[in-house]
Structure 1
Amino acid sequence: MDYVGRGKKQVMTYLFADHHSAFKRPPTPLVQQLLDLKVSLAGAWKLVDEFGEERVGQRIARYKHLVERGYQAKNKSGLLVDIIQDNGGNMGTTLKIPPK
């Protein structure tokens, strides 16, 4: 399940698998990273297939950097997916980190 947006404008997307689904593919190390960050298996494969390993890997690093610096996301996996899907490439660079 993928979440986009917040509040009343939030959209949840359910991905139902068929017999050729991501569930029959063994996870790669990158897909496993996404699973460890609470992205569903089908969602992880969809992101890697759609955006490529290089972009997904770079965006995971950006997400981890934000979290390590103290950014508090209400939905961490949703934030990660939004950062990966951001075509402008700026999401995650403009978020405000609370002072320590």
Structure 2
Amino acid sequence: MLLGAVAGSSILAIGATRAIALSSEPMAPADIQALALACGKPASHAQLIADARLILNAEIESGAKPADTTELVACPLCRCTFEVASDIRF
């Protein structure tokens, strides 16, 4: 029983150590500028828009959303937003 308690506490300590190792820090201004340059052209968002449209079309076809639904999609890099409409025609 004592061995179980020791093993349990060591597992808890390992888990706590891993949780402490995770942190969130603001990005440096130079990194933000580099991401903005990488994401600045409309063509760089083409795949993001195509994926969002594919998901939206599937949701409309399944009946989960009405046919005239649009989605607002945000780029994870530069935070710009796009309104995506379905390309399904009835």
TM-score > 0.5, shorter chain as reference? no
Highest Rg: 1 or 2? 2
Whichever structure has more strand as a proportion of its residues is: 2
The TM-score with structure 1 as length reference comes to: 0.27
The TM-score with structure 2 as length reference comes to: 0.30
Whichever structure has more helix as a proportion of its residues is: 2
